[in-house]
Every structure is written in structure tokens, then in C-alpha cells.
Amino acid sequence: MQKQGEIIQQLSKKQLTFHLYFTQFLLLTIACGLGIFLFDTWSEFRQQFHLTPSTMTIGMMSGLLIVMVDILLMRVLPAKFYDDGGVNARIFTNRSMWEIALLAFFISVSEEILFRGVIQFHFGLIISSVIFALVHFRYWAHWFLIINIVLLSFWIGFIYEFTDNLLVTIIMHFVIDFLLGLHMRKMGRQSSKEGMSHE
């Protein structure tokens, strides 16, 4: 059986993009389906969205903190600790900034609505964080990546519990995925140039 990284390497950019968006659409569909059964009214779900001056600040600052810690760890830890089989490099290297922003937007909206807005709202922080970590199965190949995604999941869940605001975690998730996506694009392009210079 092929590993996920090997399968992704064989996909064209168009096929990979389709699979990425299809996955997010599937998560959003699951969220809608669960929401119909779990929420008594539409307003009960809608009340999780509060647009206040602090919403952007908390979301952006929390996201920036995670990105800074992650990039620092990437610099000081051995490269193998962040080895996901080349999946992230393949996803982000050949994309424009706007493509990464759009992808980060859809991922943050669909995942936060499902994991925080539906699952955590009804079943709590631990269950939602464990399911979030399980869904990101491409990180299971390495113990450090598993710890990383579990801690991230709990931290996002904690921010949701603290603010009771789904917009905060959507902004936070967007900032993390967008900035790390740009960082991985930069690293991927540098690796490609280094590879070409050694040929």
C-alpha cells in the first residue's frame, strides 16, 4: 500500500487542488449534517459568531504565536522531526500567495465549523481535539508531528472555550495555515533551487 506522500507526489497540481477542496467540502457537509441534528435552532449556532474589535486581535495574535513557535522549532530541531513525507511541500511549493490564502480560508472555515462550532460545542474540548488530531492522519508517521497536532488542536480548542467565539478560531486557524503555507512554499522553492544547482 502506498503512503499518502507517495500518492500526492503522483498527482498533478489540478488533481491535488481538487482533492484538497473536496476534503474541505466533505468536512463542511458533515458539519451541516451534524448541525441539523444537534442544534435546536439556527440562532443557537449563529450565536457562536461575534465580530468585535478583540476578535481580530485575539485570533491574529494567537495564530502568530503558533507560527513563530513552529518556525523556531523548525530551525532548531532536526529536519526529520517535521518530515511529513513531502506532503506540505507538494501542496504549497507551486502556489501563488492568493492560492494559499484561498486554501487557508476554506480549510479554516470548514474545520473550525466542524471541530469547534459543532463537535466541541456539543461534546467538549477533549473529544473535538482528539477527532481533529485523528483526521489529520498524514502527521501520524512521526511522534513529534502527532504531539504537535494534538497540542495545536487543544490550544485552538482552549481559545474557543476562552472566547466562546468561532470567528476567533477561524481567524487564528487562517493565520496559521496561511503563514506556514507561505513559509513552506519558500522552503520548497529553496530546496528545488538547491537540487537544480547540484545537478
Q: How much is the pLDDT for 54? A: 87
Residue 24, C-beta contacts closer than 8 angstroms, at least 6 positions apart: 106, 107, 110, 111
Q: How far apart are CA 27 and CA 23, in angstroms?
A: 6
Percent of the chain with pLDDT over 90: 63
Q: How much is the pLDDT for 3? A: 60
Q: How much is the pLDDT for 61? A: 95
Q: How much is the pLDDT for 89? A: 80
> SS3 helix, strand, coil % of the chain, rounded to 5?
85, 0, 15
Q: How far apart are CA 141 and CA 106, in angstroms?
A: 25
Q: What is the mean pLDDT of residues 133-141?
A: 80
Q: How far apart are CA 158 and CA 164, in angstroms?
A: 10
For residue 66, give the H/E element and its range: helix 53-76
Percent of the chain with pLDDT over 70: 91
Residue 148 pLDDT > 50, yes or no?
yes
Task: Give the mean pLDDT of the chain.
Answer: 88
> pLDDT tens digits, residue range 37-86?
999 999 999 999 988 888 889 999 999 999 999 999 999 999 888 888 77
CB atoms within 10 A of CB 26: 12
Number of C-alpha atoms within 13 angstroms, CB side, residue 87?
A: 17
Q: How far apart are CA 35 and CA 24, in angstroms?
A: 16
Q: How far apart are CA 160 and CA 152, in angstroms?
A: 12
Outline where DSSP puts E strands in 48-191.
none
Q: What is the DSSP letter of 142?
A: S
Handedness of CA 175, 48, 148, 18 (dihedral sign): negative
> pLDDT tens digits, residue range 17-44?
898 999 999 999 999 999 999 999 999 9
Residue 1 pLDDT > 60, yes or no?
no
Structure-model confidence comparison of residues 194 and 60, the more confident one: 60
Residue 198 pLDDT > 50, yes or no?
no
